[in-house]
Amino acid sequence: MSRDLRSLCRDGNFVPLENLHLTLAFLGECSGECVSAALAAVSNVAFEPFNVQVESVGRFKRDGGDVWWAGVRECAPLVDLQRDLTNALVAKGFALEERRFKPHITLARKVPAGPRAWPVEPFGETVHRIDLMESKHVGGLLVYAVVCEMPLS
């Protein structure tokens, strides 16, 4: 999908393959103490591995360029995981976004208007773990690093 988008438009900040991910909760900037609280919250969320389906491509329109994404089909295990994780984080004092969870994988940011969404052949992947990730800008690029991997029970 990312390759298809790249072939349709040359401009934009494309997410490197190793940075593709599905965000369950966005914490914003965190200190060491904040990271410890997040780890405690994540460790209290238990569930079995489950399958997710990537089934569409779309965009969020933004001034200065659109955000293109791969849409993930909502399923009970994913929705339950996101809800349970959100509740655990709120219980630890995190103030999270209140907008409805829309499962997606960001493919590119700041893409100028132009391409239209295209049909994709749905494919699945098994979720075996959740990661606490840190994002930071390095040399003008957004880079993600795993702070902690939490395997599913």
* Residues labelled as active-site residues: 21, 104
Chain position carrying tokens 């840190």: 134
16: left (phi over 0), alpha (psi -120 to 50) or beta: beta
Q: Which amino acid is at 134?
A: E
- Which one, of 96, 78, 100, lies nearest residue 86 by Cα? 96
